[in-house]
Structure 1
Amino acid sequence: MKKVLITLDYNPNSEKVVNKGQELAKLMGAEICLLHVLAEVRYYGMQYEPFMGYEGYAFPVDFRIQEEFVKVAKDYLEKTAAHLGGENVTTHLAEGDTAKSILEYAESWNADVIVMGTHSHGTLEKIFLGTVASSVLERTEIPVYMVPTGEK
């Protein structure tokens, strides 16, 4: 095993995930790729007439918002790579559905293991919404190293 893919969101507990992923990579003598997925932010730039009494999209939106989201995400990845010392660390920014993007990149990068954090979601939220972690686990053949990040 020579490739460890560490997935990151903007939760402060991501530091725990990154540190555990780095420990695993050091034990394996593996390279690391830090992956962050941006949701489909292009929809925020669309303008609609008010509908169902909702006027949220009836105002002009700055179409450069996508560029700003990308810039912030790249900065986050760069700072995280620097936190790890930058040696044997690359970064990748994807856009779209989070679980699908993780699975696609893990496969294309030939990851040997995916490192993910698990947040403390309520039972109802898990039933109705699912979680990124469970979606990845259900659909991958690549081993997944889960790091619990919730409050005890």
Structure 2
Amino acid sequence: MEFHKILIAIDNNPSAERIAMNGLQLARQLNAEVALVSIVDPDDPTDQDPPTPRELDDMMEHNLNRSQLAVIENVFKTFPVKSFVKTGTPYKVILETAERWGANIIVMGTHGRKGLPHLLLGSVAEDVIRHSKKTVIVIPVTS
């Protein structure tokens, strides 16, 4: 199997650069194209704020765009990279974006939560792994 396109899923956590660096290193080794995807999750309870849901989504999208630009400037520099910021259920959006863009590999991070936090919060990485028909590389990170 040949790998020509790598989709790197990042959020606006400090670990995004580490995940992007791993994805870039792989892309260089495989001479592959790269795209970043970040997801606005309207159902994320940590993102509740007094603004309307639409205003909140707009603010989250703006923050993710800013975060992606910082990662592109700090990690990718002159390496060409596509950028997607979408709204929806994170694992579904990652899989849909990978399918539509034609990615062969998905690179993403996981915070490695265990026990009760894992049961309550779920795991985007775990959902992507369970439902993906593509190769998934998970980078363990700490918050």
Question: Which category of TM-score, normalised to the shorter sequence, fits these structures?
Answer: 0.7 to 0.9
Larger Rg: 1
**2:74 aligned with 1:73, yes or no?**
no
% identical aligned pairs: 27
- In 1, the alpha carbon distance for the partners of 2:104 and 2:55 equals 36
**2:73 aligned with 1:85, yes or no?**
no
1:79-111 per-residue CA deviation (whole Å, 9 max, x = no partner) reads 211221142211000101111110111111110
Stretches of structure 1 that go unaligned for 5 or more consecutive residues are 42-55
**2:103 aligned with 1:101, yes or no?**
no
Which segment drifts farther, 64-73 or 132-141? 64-73
> Where does residue 33 of structure 1 map in the other structure?
35
Cα distance change, pair 128–66 in 1 and its aligned pair in 2 (3 A): closer
Contact 2:12/2:64 (<8 A) preserved = no
Cα RMSD of the aligned pairs, angstroms, is 2.4
1:18 to 20, 29, 34: 20
**2:136 aligned with 1:144, yes or no?**
yes
Stretches of structure 2 that go unaligned for 5 or more consecutive residues are none
Contact 1:34/1:81 (<8 A) preserved = no
The TM-score, its normalising length taken from structure 2, stands at 0.84
Which segment drifts farther, 103-112 or 8-17? 8-17
Contact 1:81/1:91 (<8 A) preserved = no
- In 2, the alpha carbon distance for the partners of 1:118 and 1:140 equals 16
- In 1, the alpha carbon distance for the partners of 2:78 and 2:58 equals 25
Secondary structure at 2:112 match in 1: coil
- In 1, the alpha carbon distance for the partners of 2:66 and 2:11 equals 13
Q: Give 2:27's aligned amino acid.
A: A
Q: Aligned-pair distance for 1:23?
A: 0.4
Contact 2:112/2:141 (<8 A) preserved = yes
The TM-score, its normalising length taken from structure 1, stands at 0.79
